[in-house]
């Protein structure tokens, strides 16, 4: 859900981040109240236009999109592939094309058809098939970016305004009393700073905490 929050808060972050590029379970954390936060912006791409592309080979092997492995130019839809891989892992326990052999896993990502077991809803199946489309031009989100995912039937029960403004009570509260992110402005690299805008945002090993005060 965090990558969806990033896109839905485009007015806040679009000037800083165009593509996150490394969505994976290890980078999705909970704040002290149980709300999702995203960490590690070391691989994010900045200032990519809506139809622009980049070609840096980066990411985590299990979640790399086919166009990245092909070393082709890629765009924001790489994040939607990563989202699909994370959702698949949440439903099935492993990434969609996982293998202990990295070369075999890369081959699976490039060539193996997506296999979905029958123990998920039709809306979940349709969502995964759309996000894990190997052709990025046909991938869910390729036409209307975040709005295309937001309007998918799988997310129809969600009140997005309440979600962004943290009006939905998280199902789990870690009961952490100390908030380690206290500075309104964090300088990580000599020429990069991130200011507080309705939440907490930091590059590098920092976190982004959208919506909330």
Place of tokens 């058809």: 113
- 23 dihedral zone (left: phi>0; alpha: psi -120 to 50; beta): beta
- Dihedral angle at the C-alpha atoms of 70, 71, 77, 81, nearest 10 degrees? 50
User: Which CATH number is 2-29+48-175 given?
Assistant: 1.10.510.10
Alpha helices in 71-192 (DSSP H): 77-92, 102-111, 122-131, 146-150, 160-164
Sheet bearing 28-30, strands edge to edge: 28-30, 36-39, 207-209, 200-201
With a cut of 60, say whether residue 178 has pLDDT above it.
Answer: no
184-207: per-residue pLDDT in tens? 443 443 333 333 333 333 333 333
Supply the pTM of this predicted model. 0.75
Element housing 207 (H / E): strand 207-209
Active site residues per annotation: 22
Using CA atoms, how far residue 160 sits from 95, 188, 213, in Å, is 27, 31, 17
Q: Determine the Cα–Cα distance for residues 202 and 184; give it in Å rounded to an integer.
A: 10
Average pLDDT over residues 54-81: 83
Quickly count: other Cβ atoms within 10 Å of residue 164's Cβ: 19
Model pLDDT, residue 3? 56
Q: How far is residue 97's CA from residue 106's CA, in Å, rounded to a whole number? A: 8
Q: What is the pLDDT of residue 84?
A: 95
- Residue for token pair 């969609």: 96
What confidence tens digit (pLDDT) does each residue in 89-107 have?
A: 999 999 999 999 999 999 9
Q: What is the mean pLDDT of residues 162-184?
A: 73
């Amino acid at each position: 859900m965090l990558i969806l929050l990033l896109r839905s808060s485009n007015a806040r972050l679009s000037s800083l981040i165009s593509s996150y590029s490394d969505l994976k379970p290890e980078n999705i954390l909970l704040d002290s109240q149980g709300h999702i936060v995203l960490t590690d912006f070391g691989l994010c791409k900045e200032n990519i236009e809506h139809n622009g592309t980049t070609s840096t080979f980066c990411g985590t092997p299990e979640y790399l999109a086919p166009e990245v492995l092909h070393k082709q130019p890629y765009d924001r839809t790489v994040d939607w592939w990563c989202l699909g891989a994370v959702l698949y892992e949440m439903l099935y326990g492993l990434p969609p094309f996982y293998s202990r052999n990295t070369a075999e896993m890369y081959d699976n990502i490039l060539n193996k058809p997506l296999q979905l077991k029958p123990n998920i809803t039709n809306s979940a199946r349709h969502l995964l098939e759309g996000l894990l489309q190997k052709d990025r031009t046909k991938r869910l989100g390729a036409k209307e970016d975040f709005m295309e995912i937001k309007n998918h039937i799988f997310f129809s029960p969600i009140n997005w305004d309440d979600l962004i403004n943290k009006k939905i009570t998280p199902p789990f509260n870690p009961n952490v009393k100390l908030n380690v992110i206290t500075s309104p402005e964090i300088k990580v690299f000599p020429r990069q700073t991130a200011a507080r805008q309705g939440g907490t945002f930091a590059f590098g090993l920092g976190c982004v905490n959208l919506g909330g005060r």
